[in-house]
Amino acid sequence: MTAKQAVHLLINARWIIPVVPANRVFEDCALVIHRQKIIALVPQAEARKRFEPEQAVNLDRHIVIPGLINAHGHAAMNLLRGYADDFALQTWLNDHIWPAEAEHVDAEFVHDGTELAIAEMIKSGTTCFADMYFFPEQAAQVARKAHMRAQITFPILDFPTSWGQGPDDYFAKGLALHDEYRADDLIRIGFGPHAPYTVSDPHLAKVATLAEELQAPIQIHLHETVQEVDDAYRDTGVRPIERLYQLGLLTPQTQCVHMTQLNDDDIQTIANSGAHVIHCPESNLKLASGFCPVAKLQEAGVNVALGTDGAASNNNLNMLEEIQTAALLAKAVSRDPAALNAHQALACATLCGAKALGIDDITGSLEVGKAADIVALQADDTSALPIYDPASALAYNNRALKVSHVWVAGRALLLSGHLQTLDERDIRARTEQWQAKIKPVRSQP
Ligand SMILES: CSC[C@H]1O[C@@H](n2cnc3c(O)ncnc32)[C@H](O)[C@@H]1O
Ligand SMILES: [Zn+2]
């Protein structure tokens, strides 16, 4: 008899949806984890014969999936959740959010807001998030403490903010941060030019050059509203996508967020460039920005990932909800009930997110050799039953499921619903202090 192989962790689960291979559900199988990686996905009986785990977790009423990837957000804006609802983007930004940010955002705000956001993300099954916000060094520090995987893009805008005096300052601070995290296993620093209407040509061109040189990602809000595209066309004679293309900013390293205003030429330009689309359906609905044509983009070969955007325009960071909204909306927009089925919607929130962030060799599916970024959802509440197809439960009835366990690179961040790397009581106390300090200006109806 050959000796059993010693491994760190064995996860036995009722259902495992690995995402790769696509459209598959493995029943009564086990994931075997050694060091930070998945080393096998086999039937439980075989796992018992072959492996001697340091720790075994039995999840016999659970659905196990790859960790969810929130491909766009502004984590610290969790402290502005519910601050200004029911406005269109430009009114929301100009009259409410930017004045609030000018008054309140500092390093401590970003530290505390990001910690609040990461706690929410872990508890709702997210293992990796893309962030674009001021004081990105704070976001990176908190992500590192929480052991979350993250892409942190440092903001570039033409004007001064509480984080810096203007573009030169932002580039200097951001590049230093990129250097600091160059060898980090979980955190990658990229460029976050805010939007075509807040960043001028020379700075966009500089982002393109530096990103190419450093092989770093770029994330930008793009074609979010009718007003953005109409104003740009009036002022420049081209649509923002065309301007970005001319400046060399559309490459496979580029993540275009929102993209609700797309004609056939725009879709072709994006497809040809290899740039990725980050679809934020709930933020787009709430700000009444428009609809991202997901089915058309996918048909054209564009990779579409999912993001929540910030909690000030969503108003939560729950990627399971985002999966459901994306799946329902895709059907309505394309008038095709088969558009974005349950497995495809889950893929958008996992593998496609990893592709967009350029980390699909590391995460995004439960494949042997990938990092153990794993989420388990308890699925035994009567409101979840019966479960004929766990992918259906995930996409269309996920309020009935409860995220119970979360691992990133094999380390537990959530065990039986309890955070392992963050102190929830402390987060609550600090959030209450911010709530007392930040007073929303409410106009009377
Ligand atoms: C440069 S840091 C991020 C900056 O973006 C603002 N923001 C949040 N949500 C959106 C959105 O949907 N479109 C454009 N800008 C957005 C945020 O408040 C920060 O100022
Ligand atoms: Zn955003």
283 lines ligand 1 (CB under 6 A): yes
Ligand 1 mean position to 118 CA, how many Å?
Answer: 18
Binding residues: 72, 74, 101, 194, 221, 224, 309
Token pair, residue 52, equals 């001697």
Q: What mean pLDDT, rounded, does the chain reach?
A: 97
Output the CA angle 374-378-383, nearest 5 degrees: 140
pLDDT tens digits along 347-369:
999 999 999 999 999 999 999 99
Ligand 2 mean position to 49 CA, how many Å?
Answer: 49
Pocket test for ligand 1, best of 77, 169, 194 (most atoms within 8 A of CB): 194
As a whole-number percent, the residues of the chain with pLDDT over 90 amount to: 98
Assign 440 a pLDDT band (cuts: 50, 70, 90): confident
List the residue whose alpha carbon is closest to atom 3 of ligand 1. Answer: 133
Which residues have C-beta within 8 Å of that of residue 310, sequence separation ≥ 6?
A: 73, 74, 75, 77, 78, 80, 283
Output the CA angle 92-94-96, nearest 5 degrees: 55
Which helix (H) or strand (E) segment holds residue 271: the answer is: helix 264-273
Inform me whether the pLDDT recorded for 69 exceeds 60.
Answer: yes
322 lines ligand 1 (CB under 6 A): no
Calpha distance 29→26 (Å, rounded): 6
Inform me whether the pLDDT recorded for 442 exceeds 80.
Answer: no
135 lines ligand 1 (CB under 6 A): no
Binding residues for Zn(2+): 72, 74, 221, 309
Cis omega (within 30 of 0) for bond into 160: no
Calpha distance 89→203 (Å, rounded): 23
pLDDT given for residue 66 in this prediction: 99
List the residue whose alpha carbon is closest to atom 14 of ligand 1. Answer: 221
pLDDT tens digits along 303-346:
999 999 999 999 999 999 999 999 999 999 999 999 999 999 99
| Average confidence (pLDDT) over 59-86 | 98
170 lines ligand 1 (CB under 6 A): no
Nearest atom, ligand 1, residue 224 CA: 13
Token pair, residue 304, equals 């579409």
Q: What counts of helices (H) and strands (E) characterise the chain? A: 17, 16
| Average confidence (pLDDT) over 35-64 | 98
Instruction: Count the Cβ atoms, other than its own, within 10 Å of residue 285.
Output: 16
Token pair, residue 84, equals 């200004």
Ligand 2 mean position to 180 CA, how many Å?
Answer: 25
Nearest atom, ligand 1, residue 156 CA: 1
Ligand 1 mean position to 245 CA, how many Å?
Answer: 22
Q: What is the pTM of this model?
A: 0.98
- Secondary structure letter of residue 50 according to DSSP: H
pLDDT given for residue 61 in this prediction: 98
**Crossing angle between the packed helical segments 107-123 and 136-146, to the nearest 10 degrees:** 40
**Nearest C-alpha neighbor of 347 from the set 359, 365, 329:** 365
| Average confidence (pLDDT) over 238-259 | 98
Ligand 1 mean position to 4 CA, how many Å?
Answer: 52
Assign 439 a pLDDT band (cuts: 50, 70, 90): confident
pLDDT given for residue 2 in this prediction: 83
pLDDT given for residue 287 in this prediction: 98
Nearest atom, ligand 1, residue 289 CA: 12
Calpha distance 95→84 (Å, rounded): 9
Ligand 1 mean position to 88 CA, how many Å?
Answer: 13
pLDDT tens digits along 166-185:
999 999 999 999 999 999 99
> Going edge to edge, which strands form the sheet with 5-16?
37-43, 26-34, 5-16, 51-66, 374-378, 402-408, 411-415, 418-419
Binding residues for substrate: 101, 194, 224, 309
pLDDT tens digits along 257-312:
999 999 999 999 999 999 999 999 999 999 999 999 999 999 999 999 999 999 99
pLDDT given for residue 26 in this prediction: 98
Inform me whether the pLDDT recorded for 195 exceeds 90.
Answer: yes
Identify the residue whose tokens are 């900013």.
249
pLDDT tens digits along 101-157:
999 999 999 999 999 999 999 999 999 999 999 999 999 999 999 999 999 999 999
| Average confidence (pLDDT) over 234-248 | 98
150 lines ligand 1 (CB under 6 A): no
| Average confidence (pLDDT) over 178-206 | 98
Ligand 2 mean position to 88 CA, how many Å?
Answer: 14
Which residues have C-beta within 8 Å of that of residue 345, sequence separation ≥ 6?
A: 323, 324, 326, 327, 330, 395
Assign 443 a pLDDT band (cuts: 50, 70, 90): low
Inform me whether the pLDDT recorded for 444 exceeds 80.
Answer: no
pLDDT given for residue 47 in this prediction: 98
224 lines ligand 1 (CB under 6 A): yes
100 lines ligand 1 (CB under 6 A): no
74 lines ligand 1 (CB under 6 A): yes
| Average confidence (pLDDT) over 402-431 | 98
Inform me whether the pLDDT recorded for 1 exceeds 70.
Answer: no
- Hey, CA dihedral for 378, 383, 385, 391, is it positive or negative? negative
Instruction: Count the Cβ atoms, other than its own, within 10 Å of residue 321.
Output: 17
| Average confidence (pLDDT) over 204-229 | 98
The ipTM estimated for the assembled molecules is: 0.99
